[in-house]
Amino acid sequence: MLLSKGCATIKPEAKQHVEMAEETREVRGRIPKDLKIAFEIACARLEATQTAALEEAIRDWLQKKESSEKQH
C-alpha cells in the first residue's frame, strides 16, 4: 500500500522482527533548520531511519574525539 501526501509518495516500512537487546534512551538537541531538512532528505534517499543515522553519527563523533584525545 502506498500513501500519497502532496506530491510525495510514501511507502510504509516493511515490518521486520527487531530484537531490542539493549535498552534505549532518547536524545534531544536543536540544530539549524537547513541541516535538519538536509538530514531528513538524506535519510529518506538512503532509506535509512533517522535513529540509525543518528546512532552512526554519534558513534563516529565519539570515536573521533577519543582518537584526538589519545594524540594529545
* Helix, strand, coil distribution of the chain in percent, nearest 5: 50, 10, 40
**Structural domain count of the chain:** 1
The verdict on pTM exceeding 0.75 is: no
For the chain, the C-alpha Rg in angstroms (whole number) is 16
- pLDDT for 31-54, tens place per residue? 999 999 999 999 999 999 999 999
Which tops the pLDDT comparison, 5 or 45? Answer: 45
Taking a C-beta distance cutoff of 8 angstroms, is the pair 65, 57 a contact?
Answer: no
- Specify if 20 maps to a domain: no
- List the grid coordinates of 52: 540509525
Measured distance CA(12)–CA(71) in Å, rounded: 46
Is 45 part of any domain? yes
Write out the residue range of the structural domain in which residue 56 sits.
31-72
